[in-house]
Amino acid sequence: MSDYPALSMIIAGEHVTGGGRRTHAVVNPATGEVIGHLPLADPADLDRALDAAARGFARWRRSSAAERAHVLEGAARLLLERQDMIARNAVREQGKTLAEARVEVLMVVGLFRFYAGECQRIYGRTLVRPAGQRSTVTHAPVGPVAAFAPWNFPIGNPGRKLGAPIAAGCSVILKSAEETPASALAVLQALLDAGLPGDVAQAVFGVPDEVSRHLLASPVIRKLSFTGSTVVGKHLARLATDNMLRTTLELGGHGPVLVFGDADIERALDTVVPHKLRNAGQVCVSPTRFLVEESVFDRFATGFAARAGATRVGDGLDPAAQMGPMANARRPEAMDRLIGDATAQGARLLTGGARVGNHGYFFAPTVLAQVPQSAAIMNEEPFGPVAIINPLPDEAAMIAEANRLPYGLAAYAWTEDARRQRRLAEDIEAGMIGLNTTMIAGADAPFGGVKWSGHGAEDGPEGLHACLVTKTVHEG
Ligand code: NAD
């Protein structure tokens, strides 16, 4: 607890704290103890941030690609130097294992390095015109961005929210989750220490609804970027409509995993079980509904439950822990409700199903089998360490179940049949599909969903272009 940092907002380059502001108590989910007090913005703070963001944009839109690349590369270097400290604080405030938190720092390092290169490739084009005429298409930064990042990737989400706007020449006001502020502040601080002007990127915290209403109503803001639940995403999208803001929305999912009889079942299990339990299942692309061909159902379900049941649950700072606690008190409550409802409706509980220990928010890796479609967990994003394993008769039934829900973020399939792989890639409604792999993200790959999982992408060239607008100039 002792080395958890003092918390502040960062407005116009200044650390803002105290002054009679309301505070939010930050809790270590492994112990339930309060580890810090976070100042929350009042309307005057938000107005100062908006003024600074307008100034920051006026300056940064004129910056050279080399200047942006210098900041992003410098921040990447600083994040690497500070990796251990940043990762430890992320574990203290969010709960995931230290190994996962360290990888999260590397994810941001990779993304900043990618955007340091990509910002030098914001090309336009010249159209073919008769002599004496000229038409050019250019891409300009969209303007100040209001960005909202959730608590599940306390380092990675702020990295995504900051990297692309900065590369594009925008300014950004980040409101990261109040549960995990130190991680977000560390990412921003690395950028500022690398030379980013203080009015280009800022961090505020507050009562989420107050902050989003205030920022999105301001004429300064030109884009909303939000990662979080579909219900909040829809609400913010409605607010964004009033000022016709550009939007990038990365919302909920309910990832189907189609497992066919011809798959390498042992390799699939060795890969998907740790992927399911990563970050205690609190991942938007977490696999949730395992749809298994009847011929291999028993083998898959038994193998899954054995591996999940053997997973060591503990404080993320304990090197022996393979899965940490859930991030906040709301999550085990949701698990109790969803699992209780499923078993009451006839689902079989193969392992887990209960909280672990008597302090913190630990929950056992859980496997439910033969879960009826009417159960809430078959329809609501579980966002926890619970796998649903259901038998299905054939490919058509599996695809129909995969596409049944309004979500379309990540989907996975395990099959050795190349023709089937192509059919699945075409027919499954999802923004990202992993065939015989769970590796579906990378700095150079667009990350985003379809249907109720949102629109627009982060990462890759697409993430940068989401922060640009197109301008065409015709000269006679
Ligand atoms: P929630 O739906 O209230 O909050 C989700 C996120 O949105 C949080 O970061 C929160 O601070 C933010 N938020 C909430 N209301 C807001 C508002 N009016 N304006 C701006 N931001 C707002 O609930 P929660 O308990 O934090 O999370 C529960 C659910 O959210 C999960 O079950 C999961 O479905 C979803 N979630 C998704 C992601 C993701 O990566 N897509 C991340 C975290 C949570």
Q: How many CB atoms lie within 10 A of CB 348?
A: 14
- Which residues have CB under 6 Å of ligand 1? 148, 150-152, 177, 208-209, 212, 227-229, 231-232, 235-236, 250-252, 284, 330, 381, 383
Beta bridge partners of residue 203, listed in sequence order: 10, 174
What CA–CA distances, in Å, run from 398 to 214, 256, 262, 291, 401?
44, 9, 15, 6, 5
Residue nearest to atom 23 of ligand 1 (CA): 229
Integer distance in angstroms from the first to the last C-alpha of the chain? 67
- Convert the pLDDT of each residue in 112-122 to its tens digit: 999 999 999 99
Where do the CATH 3.40.309.10 domains begin and end in the chain?
Answer: 255-442
The token pair at 44 is 């005057």
Q: Which fold has domain 9-251+453-475?
A: Aldehyde Dehydrogenase; Chain A, domain 1 (3.40.605)
CA 189 to ligand 1 center in whole angstroms: 24
Q: For residue 333, indicate whether it is catalytic.
A: no
Rounded distance, CA 283 to CA 357, Å?
23
Instruction: Select which of 284, 381, 395, 458 is catalytic.
Output: 284
Question: Given a cut of 60, is residue 259 above it in pLDDT?
Answer: yes
CA 210 to ligand 1 center in whole angstroms: 15
Rounded distance, CA 325 to CA 96, Å?
7
Q: How high is the pLDDT of residue 22? A: 98
- Convert the pLDDT of each residue in 365-424 to its tens digit: 999 999 999 999 999 999 999 999 999 999 999 999 999 999 999 999 999 999 999 999
The token pair at 198 is 């203080």
Q: Which residue type does 39 have? A: P
CB 206 within 8 A of CB 174: no
* Share of residues in the chain with pLDDT > 90 (%): 99
The token pair at 212 is 């989003």
172-176/145-149 β-pairing: parallel
CB 26 within 8 A of CB 322: no
CB 300 within 8 A of CB 265: yes
Q: For residue 381, indicate whether it is catalytic.
A: no
Q: Which fold has domain 255-442?
A: Aldehyde Dehydrogenase; Chain A, domain 2 (3.40.309)
Where do the CATH 3.40.605.10 domains begin and end in the chain?
Answer: 9-251+453-475
Instruction: Select which of 250, 293, 381, 429 is catalytic.
Output: 250
Q: How high is the pLDDT of residue 3? A: 85
The token pair at 7 is 């918390």
Residue nearest to atom 27 of ligand 1 (CA): 229
Residue of 96, 210, 225, 229 to test ligand 1 pocket, by largest number of atoms within 8 Å of CB: 229
The token pair at 211 is 């902050």
Pick from 387, 371, 393: which is nearest to 292 by CA? 393
- Convert the pLDDT of each residue in 4-23 to its tens digit: 999 999 999 999 998 999 99
Q: Which residue has the tokens 């790959």?
A: 445
**Which residues make Cβ contacts (< 8 Å) with residue 195, sequence separation at least 6?**
70, 71, 74
Give the pLDDT mean for 128-150: 98
- Total length of the chain: 476
Pick from 13, 439, 431: which is nearest to 203 by CA? 13
**H helices, E strands: number in the chain:** 14, 22
Q: How high is the pLDDT of residue 2? A: 59
- Please provide residue 330's backbone torsions phi and psi, each rounded to the nearest 5 degrees: -70, -30
- Convert the pLDDT of each residue in 418-436 to its tens digit: 999 999 999 999 999 999 9
DSSP 315: -
